[in-house]
Amino acid sequence: MNDIIGVRSFVLITGASRGFGRALALEMGKVVGAGSTLLLMARNMADLETTKAIVRDARPGLAVELVSIDLETANRETFENAVRSNYGSGDHSVAVVIHNAGTLGQDGRKITDLTDIDEMSRYYRLNLFHVICLNSVFKSCFPATRTVYINISSILALQPMVTWGHYCGGKSARDAVFRVLAVEQPESVVLNYAPGPLDTPMVDDLLADTQTDQVVRTMFEDMKQNGRLLRPADSAATMVALLRKQNFKSGDHVDYYDDAAKEAMQSNTAASSSGGSSSGAATSNSSSSGAAAANTGSGV
């Protein structure tokens, strides 16, 4: 098994301006090897700068590059320019792309209320089509480098939720696309990671939207009030632990609450406490929301 964590890496993270993407940038920034580069993408440059400052605080001197980009309209050329102008000498041991940007696309309408094909196209451009395009560009930019493709998925790739036709459709299709990628690229590592229900601005936006379906609203209000939303840092640390242990089959859908995630976190904690962690991986410091918690069966 070739290491993904702790080696010289090029790591591209979309949607890194806030929420889970920011947590992923920080956790990956802590564990990449010397000479690595993080390339962070989102629309809001000021928020990307804040993410960069947080990462550099934890890992002074790490190369953190920022690109303001609208993933709904970005195309092959935009992606090629963004990657090629930031990968420096390109002699990385591993190139990792983490597709984290995503939107809910819900406003209380049922799937039988949806008739606007332009609206659907915009949703799927942002939540599916650009992901396929960026993976292809990524492969062409790193022809001789080991590549790791990560899809930030959701339990809703597997389960339905009323009024979330776009979200469930997008997440499910992304999982399928990444499974195809795994069989087409057996030399790469492909992971569909479902991070669990997270306390991020996405959930705040959902609760602030007056059109949100009442059943959905009650479910998320309950999770927020009862402290059942995970800290993004804990879920990001779990994903890093999975990449370190690689105890999944390429293309698998692994949820934060799955046994593989718990096992990876246990190994991580054991390695850290015995001083055996070569690259100083962060471990979750929140036992209450750790990977051993029961699967709530809900979340975004």
Phi, psi dihedrals of residue 245, rounded to the nearest 5°: -85, -30
Q: How far is the CB of 175 from ligand NAP (least distance, A)?
A: 12
Structure tokens at 280: 């100083």
- Name which of 7 and 198 has its Cβ closer to ligand NAP: 198
Q: How far is the CB of 14 from ligand NAP (least distance, A)?
A: 6
Q: How far is the CB of 29 from ligand NAP (least distance, A)?
A: 16
In one-letter notation, the amino acid at residue 137 is: V
- Name which of 190 and 300 has its Cβ closer to ligand NAP: 300
**Alpha-carbon dihedral of residues 77, 34, 89, 27, nearest 10 degrees?**
0
Which string of DSSP letters, residue by residue, matches 192-257? EEE--SB-SHHHHHHHH-TTS-HHHHHHHHHHHHTT-SBPHHHHHHHHHHHHHH--S-TT-EEETT
Q: How far is the CB of 19 from ligand NAP (least distance, A)?
A: 2
Q: Which residue is nearest to ligand NAP (CB)?
A: 19
Contact 181, 188 (CB under 8 A): yes
Q: How far is the CB of 161 from ligand NAP (least distance, A)?
A: 11
Task: Return residues touching ligand NAP (CB under 6 A).
Answer: 15, 17-21, 42-44, 47, 69-72, 100-103, 126, 152, 154, 195, 197-198, 200-203, 299-300
DSSP state, residue 10? E
Q: Exposure of 275 by Cβ count < 10 A (0-12 exposed, 13-18 middle, 19+ buried)?
A: exposed
- Name which of 7 and 223 has its Cβ closer to ligand NAP: 223
- Name which of 6 and 170 has its Cβ closer to ligand NAP: 170
- Name which of 34 and 207 has its Cβ closer to ligand NAP: 207
